[in-house]
Amino acid sequence: MVERKKLTKREELRIQRRREQMRSRLIIFGIIGAIVLGFFAVVILPTIIQNINEANTPIGSINEITPLERANVDGTAMGDPAAPVRIDIYEDFQCPACARYSEAVENQVVTEYVNTGKVYYVFNHYPFLDDNSFTKESDQSANASMCAGEQGRFWDYHDMLYANQSGENQSAFSDRRLVAFAETLGLDMDAFNACFEENRYQDEINEDIASGRALGVNSTPSVFVNGQLISPDRVPSYEELKAAIEAQLTQ
């Protein structure tokens, strides 16, 4: 029988250190693996699932619009920039109150004040209703509207979005439907898709958000007449907004 060679203390220490190093490496690899799996589960997997669900979800019916006559449209603004009254509106396209405001209040302001040269009207993006959602329908609808604006159709696309709301983060503004809205409006789809896919106007949208925060915007719609917030606790009626406009016109 061959006797095992007795290890010296130095050799025993060397072997012990190697075992400890191996154990440390295994622990580190385990931690890294857990982080990678966690990142995949939290960030990557929901996006994959969302894309699969969206690809398999029918676009559904689309409510068409009749374009409203608007004077001097320039991107997200309309009216005479030299008008005595400027209105700034901060909105999220998923916001139901914004849709009601647009139909019941904004359109009357356009007819009576914007088209007559008394009001310069500016839309500002304030997407926030998807902040805790993986769908990002507020962000993507803002993105799409700016791409429509690149072709001079921001306001028509704005109306199309509000005409097709159906709940927050419920795929009413999925990417496929946002593209379908552009097709329905007859936009140049090659140009629109290129703009939409690269999120070309994110910096401008972020600037709107920053300006809104600086003004204390915390809900939508928020309506400012010459810098003054109108009806901060609720959506202003047409009568309230008209009174604010007339007060500025008589100064």
Tokens coding 244: 């604010």
Confidence of residue 41 (pLDDT cuts 50, 70, 90): low
- Does the pLDDT value for residue 6 go beyond 70? no
222-225 sheet: strands from edge to edge: 77-78, 119-125, 85-91, 222-225, 228-230
In whole angstroms, what is the distance from residue 3 CA to residue 19 CA? 24
Q: Is the pLDDT of residue 11 over 80?
A: no
User: Amino acid identity of 52?
Assistant: I
* Tally: H helices and E strands in the chain: 10, 5
In angstroms, rounded to a whole number, what is the distance separating the alpha carbons of residues 20 and 18?
5
List Cα–Cα distances, 229 to 37, 125, 159, 212, 218, in angstroms: 47, 16, 23, 11, 12
- Looking at domain 77-249, its CATH class is alpha beta
How confident is the model over 60-81, as pLDDT tens digits? 899 999 999 999 999 999 999 9
Confidence at residue 42, expressed as pLDDT on a 0 to 100 scale: 62
Q: Per residue in 166-220, pLDDT tens?
A: 988 889 999 999 999 999 999 999 999 999 999 999 999 999 999 999 999 999 9
Question: Is the pTM for the entire model greater than 0.75?
Answer: yes
Residue % of the chain over a pLDDT of 90 = 71
Distance from C-alpha of 70 to C-alpha of 68, rounded to nearest angstrom: 6
pLDDT digits (tens, 9 = 90+) for 79-122: 999 999 999 999 999 999 999 999 999 999 999 999 999 999 99
239, pLDDT greater than 90: yes
Of 24-38, 117-131, 200-214, 233-247, the least confident: 24-38
pLDDT for residue 13 is more than 90: no
